Amino acid sequence: MSTATAGGPAAPGPPGPPAPGTHRSSIVRTRPWLAVCFLLPALVLLGALVVYPIVYSVHRSLFDASGTGFVGLGNYIELFTDDDTLTAIKNNTIWVIVAPTVCTALGLIFAVLTERVRWGTAFKLIVFMPMAISMLAAGIIFRLVYEQDPDRGVANAVWVGIHDTFNEASAWPGARPRPNGDLEKTGGGSYTTGSPVDAAGPANLPLVGVPPQDLTDAAEASPARPAGDGGVTGTVWVDFAKGGGGEPNVVDPGEKALAGVVVEAVRDGRVVATATTGEDGVFTLPAEADGAHLRLPASNFTEAYNGVNWLGPSLITPAIIASYVWMWAGFAMVLIAAGLAGVPRELLEAARVDGANEWQVFRRVTVPVLAPVLAVVLVTLMINVLKIFDLVYIIAPGATQSDANVLALQLYLSSFGTGADQGVGSAIAVLLLLLVVPVMVFNIRRLRRENRR
């Protein structure tokens, strides 16, 4: 501020602040060495950890396995003619399309649904907790989850439990007739007597092939006695005595009964009577069974349902993607929830006042406003899955590792596996870089557009 004297000019005031950027630009122009000193450590690290590896990989990809013979683009041609690498490219395409999309969609759903509930913070904490686990630990966890044996694998334990709830398990899986007996294999896996039965004597149906451990709680078999009403009786048992001995096709002392076996009496291709063996293996059919053939349906002997082969060739990639979603859906949810907290409530309330239902508010207001956040999450996850290695390497067993192959795993196997060829491995590294660059360029341009607004 200046003051004026009578009849004289105003005294000059203190100088104002310099124009924006003037001081900074003057330092750079007058003392460039100072700027270089500040930037030098970062430039050295950037050159050593980023620029040099990229340049060396490009250079190494032009040479053979020994590194002495120049092959030009031969390694790149091999990438697109090798079956393992083509499988890796196909699987990476599936990963890039499916995994980020599912994670982002689940994160959006979780963030929106938990926004107004009292226990939303606790739910978000639980969903985000897998992010605290390393890829190595998550791979070991899901390798156990996907075990084929229902007694060890959680996924198959649940699946088998659901299956057995709606489909009754067989009584004695794997049991079969004694060789040279009267029972013969018929259509569909059932066994039928070669000769008809009558009420005069018992119809013994000896079986073998039942593991001893499955007979621990089984009762001792009893010889059947003729029924007084003209019915047909018999015994179904394991015709095998511990320690050997015994007479074939005869119920000997100590031999085990097979309880719960369904026996059908069949005449002219039609079932005329049905019975089920008791704890002592004895069954009783009514008089209609006299003169009929006895059949043991295949449902008595079908192998127990053992669940789904999650780590088989057809399901290995979806199974590993599911484990990735389990880890990263929480990451997407937290970022989207942070963006959702910044959505003006006036927009949502105005839409509701105008008559929009919750689905319309979500689709027409919430999602468009969150589009920048969704793009950040989607692009980040796309870059992440292009480099996926740990989960595939740990979860996929050796037999199906080639079916789950991805580019990062193929890079490792080509560079350090059997018949290592670091020329091909470097070519895969360059290919991965070329796949990541467009996504990064898109992300940088989107950020610049956001900053201009």
Per DSSP, which regions of 187-249 are E strands? 191-193, 205-208, 232-238
Per-residue pLDDT tens over the stretch 321-334: 999 999 999 999 99
Question: What is the rounded average pLDDT of the residues 195-213?
Answer: 87
Mean confidence (pLDDT) of the chain: 86
Q: What CA–CA distance (Å, rounded) separates 192 from 200?
A: 19
Q: What is the pLDDT of residue 11?
A: 52
Distance of CA 339 to the CA centre of its chain: 29
What's the pTM value of the predicted model, to 2 decimals?
A: 0.75
- Give me the sign of the Cα torsion angle 420, 426, 432, 436: positive
Segment among 24-28, 157-161, 195-199 with least mean pLDDT: 24-28
Per-residue pLDDT tens over the stretch 385-443: 998 999 999 999 988 999 999 999 999 999 887 778 899 999 999 999 998 888 888 87
Per-residue pLDDT tens over the stretch 4-50: 444 445 555 555 555 554 455 555 566 778 878 888 999 899 999 98
Q: What is the pLDDT of residue 428?
A: 93
Q: What is the pLDDT of residue 61?
A: 92
| Separation in Å, CA 250 to CA 128, 183, 236, 245, 285 | 65, 14, 11, 12, 20
Q: What is the pLDDT of residue 19?
A: 52
Query: Residue for token digits 């959702």?
Result: 340
Q: How many residues does the chain have?
A: 453
